Chain A
Amino acid sequence: GAGVSQSPSNKVTEKGKDVELRCDPISGHTALYWYRQSLGQGLEFLIYFQGNSAPDKSGLPSDRFSAERTGGSVSTLTIQRTQQEDSAVYLCASTLAGGRNEQFFGPGTRLTVL
Chain B
Amino acid sequence: GESVGLHLPTLSVQEGDNSIINCAYSNSASDYFIWYKQESGKGPQFIIDIRSNMDKRQGQRVTVLLNKTVKHLSLQIAATQPGDSAVYFCAENISGNQFYFGTGTSLTVIP
Closest to A48 in B: B97
> Contact at B43–A105, with CB atoms within 8 Å?
yes
A36 to B71, CA, bound (A): 25
A53 to B100, CA, bound (A): 22
B27-86 CB contacts (< 8 Å) to partner A:
32, 41-46, 49
Closest to B31 in A: A100
- Please count how many residues in chain B sit with their CB below 8 Å of the partner chain's CB atoms: 21
> Contact at B44–A105, with CB atoms within 8 Å?
yes
Distance in Å from the Cβ of A112 to the closest Cβ of chain B?
15
A96 to B24, CA, bound (A): 28
> Contact at A42–B42, with CB atoms within 8 Å?
no
| A42 with B4, Cβ < 8 A, contacts A48-B97, A48-B98, A100-B32 known | yes
> Contact at A56–B97, with CB atoms within 8 Å?
yes
A27-49 CB contacts (< 8 Å) to partner B:
31, 33, 35, 40-45, 48
Tell yes or no: A79 within 8 A of B by CB.
no
> Contact at A105–B45, with CB atoms within 8 Å?
yes
